[in-house]
Amino acid sequence: MDKYDFINNTNPEVIDELYKKYKSNPEELEEGWRKFFMGFDFGQNQYKTNPNESAGITNDEFKVINLINDYRRRGHLFTLTNPVRKRRVYKPDLSISNYGLSEADLEKEYEAGNELGLGKARLKDIISFLQQTYCSSIGVEYVFIRDEKIVNWLKDKIEKTKNTPSFSNDLKKYILQKLMRAVYFEKFLQKKFPGQKRFSLEGAEALVPALDSVMEKGSELGIEEFIIGMPHRGRLNVLANILRKPFEDIFHEFDGVSYSDEKVLGDVKYHLGYTVKRKTIQKKDVKMTLAPNPSHLEAVDPVVEGITRAKIDKLYKGDVNKIAPILIHGDASIAGQGVVYEVIQMQDLKGYSTGGTIHLVINNQVGFTTDYLDARSSTYCTDVAKTTLSPVFHVNGDDAEAVSFSIQMAMEFRNTFHKDVFIDILCYRKYGHNEGDEPRFTQPLLYKEIAKHPDPYQIYKKHLIEEGVVDDEYCKNEEKVINKKLEENLKASKSHTKTEIDNFLGETWKEIKKANDADFIKSPDTSISKKKLLNYTEKIAALPDSMKFFNKTLRLQKQRKDIVVEDGKLDWAMGELMAYASLLDEGIPVRLSGQDVERGTFSHRHAVLHVED
């Protein structure tokens, strides 16, 4: 891909001039251009054109190819992805005049249509295809990726579907139901617990059908378990509608009652974790775990990756296609918190990889109170994805089908290439930082627009009624059902005395004994015999004659052996190595992870030895 990038970024007129030079004196051109024009001439000779039209067609075909490549490269800047704001203006835009084409060319046919699978096609049909594929509800950043196989896979998936979902009526109804449950849950909480902080998902309710879609698609691909990490915003909705935590348990927590675990404090209802086993539409079992997370936002990211990696190693025997991590971010935190960069930089490292992470960004377009224009220097909050060459889907959060479609493609990408993928859901936050905040202090115009903006459920309901998939009576009946269920659960919650919170990884940890006070009164016997120490020392210090080691390594190994065997002593380095040796001897695995753990601090101790050749 990179080898020919110079072509994609060059003006057609410049290419014309270079071609003339190639014809008169090819040695004046760089090797890359010479090879390009050699291939071009070969194509011209193999596929003859009318000589009288040759020059005009050649130049115009280049112009259209350039237009196509720019849609792929920059189309994401001109999408319909923002539900409540006008997009910033980026220049140059994709007007055909910027490519040396005019209105008169729209009816002309171009061989460049073959590049899109259209065959020879009129320019206006090529542009219509590109607009729908790259500039509608989904924008995609992918051509910066250096792996040609990945770029071609994404291009094929995007262009064969025109980046547009084609769901069955049953699936559309299913998405509508999930969206309705998410919206009505938030409305119910607002009505029944006014003024209480809950960090509502309102404005971003498409997250719920999105998570449902990734579970369904993942299960089709063989995923048996998902580990999810997210901040507090939207957590209650995810707990209720994705992890199926009983409504009555959540309502009970709003009453400020006590917990069965006396060490739990305060406002934990939107910090809690949960584990559940769910059935998919195809009746497959999928386990889902939401990791607990206090108000430290991205601090949960490495925890989720660690849980996932531990399960890959211990439970799934290294099979990354059985389990996947999902990290849910806010736009301000993913752009601003260093732990995000630190975590994604480990995606391909042998000791840390989890087979690719799905990153979902709830892009409220505002941080704590700061407008996005004042929050970061990068164009997108997801630009950190480019450091690891991960594709990014930017999606309109009011288009529930587009959100579900994108995350399904992301899930398939993850299980195909085992790399991270990002979905940037552009939405809004109906209230301020919390339900007691007044966002109009700093965002008066934005929140004036949000106040009159219909919720995602109303938008999708109207769309499906117009399509004839559902009617108004169907929707009213479904709305009555969910409202009745919420009311019944609220009533049932009043009878609770204490709330249990031990569902997080309960099955995983069921064989692990919890420590009590008595366990700390007397230390267990961890001693080993002198005979074993000497045996471990011999094995640690021994080096095979068949391998060539660095001279200083040989000296260090001898010194370590002499400390124990000749002097009868242990230093800290040998003490640490003895601890590893005794654990391994007892059949307990030891994992070395972190920077410089193989070597220790300089010459402190070497747990791994390297050879010279």
Q: Measuring CA to CA, which residue among 290, 364, 292 is closest to residue 334?
A: 364
Q: Measuring CA to CA, which residue among 183, 208, 176 is closest to residue 465?
A: 176
What one-letter code names the amino acid at 296?
A: H
Backbone φ/ψ region at 329: left (φ over 0), alpha (ψ -120 to 50), beta: beta
Q: What is the pTM of this model?
A: 0.86
Instruction: Please give the pLDDT value at position 502.
Output: 60
Q: Measuring CA to CA, which residue among 342, 330, 314 is closest to residue 199?
A: 330
Report CA torsion sign: 15, 17, 22, 27. Answer: negative
Instruction: Please give the pLDDT value at position 55.
Output: 43
pLDDT beneath 50, residues of the chain:
1-2, 51-57, 265-267
Cα 397 from Cα 11, distance rounded (Å): 36
Instruction: Please give the pLDDT value at position 56.
Output: 44
Cα 286 to chain centroid distance, Å, stands at 19
**Order of strands across the sheet with 392-396?**
138-141, 392-396, 421-426, 358-363, 323-330, 225-229, 285-290, 274-279
Instruction: Please give the pLDDT value at position 42.
Output: 65
Domains 169-493 and 525-613 alike in fold: yes
Instruction: Please give the pLDDT value at position 54.
Output: 45
302-310 long-range contacts, CB within 8 A, separation 24+? 302/339, 302/342, 302/343, 303/229, 304/227, 304/228, 304/229, 305/343, 305/346, 305/352, 305/354, 305/357, 307/227, 307/505, 308/227, 308/354, 309/352, 309/353, 309/354
Cα 227 from Cα 324, distance rounded (Å): 6
Q: How far apart are the first and last CA of the chain?
A: 35
Classify residue 457 by burial, with Cβ atoms within 10 Å: 0-12, 13-18, 19+.
buried
Cα 159 from Cα 161, distance rounded (Å): 5
Q: Measuring CA to CA, which residue among 275, 277, 294, 290 is closest to residue 327?
A: 290
Report CA torsion sign: 285, 291, 297, 303. Answer: negative
Per-residue H/E/C for 437-501: CCHHHCCHHHHHHHHCCCCHHHHHHHHHHHHCCCCHHHHHHHHHHHHHHHHHHHHHHCCCCCECC
Report DSSP letters for 73-140, one per residue: HHGGGG-S--SSSPPPP-SS---GGGGT--GGGTTSEEGGGGGGT--SEEHHHHHHHHHHHHSSSEEE
Pairing status of strand 225-229 against strand 358-363 = unpaired
The second-level CATH assignment, the architecture, of 525-613 is 3-Layer(aba) Sandwich (3.40)
Compute the radius of gyration of the chain from its Cα atoms. 30
CA atoms within 13 A on the CB side of 522: 3
Strands (E) located in 230-300: 274-279, 285-290
- Cβ proximity of 8 and 73 under 8 Å: yes
Helix or strand run (H / E) with residue 250: helix 247-254
User: How is residue 69 written in tokens?
Assistant: 């490549």
Domain regions of the chain by residue span: 169-493, 525-613
Longest dimension (CA), the chain: 97
Helix or strand run (H / E) with residue 251: helix 247-254
Class of CATH domain 169-493: alpha beta
Instruction: Please give the pLDDT value at position 49.
Output: 53
Instruction: Please give the pLDDT value at position 499.
Output: 66
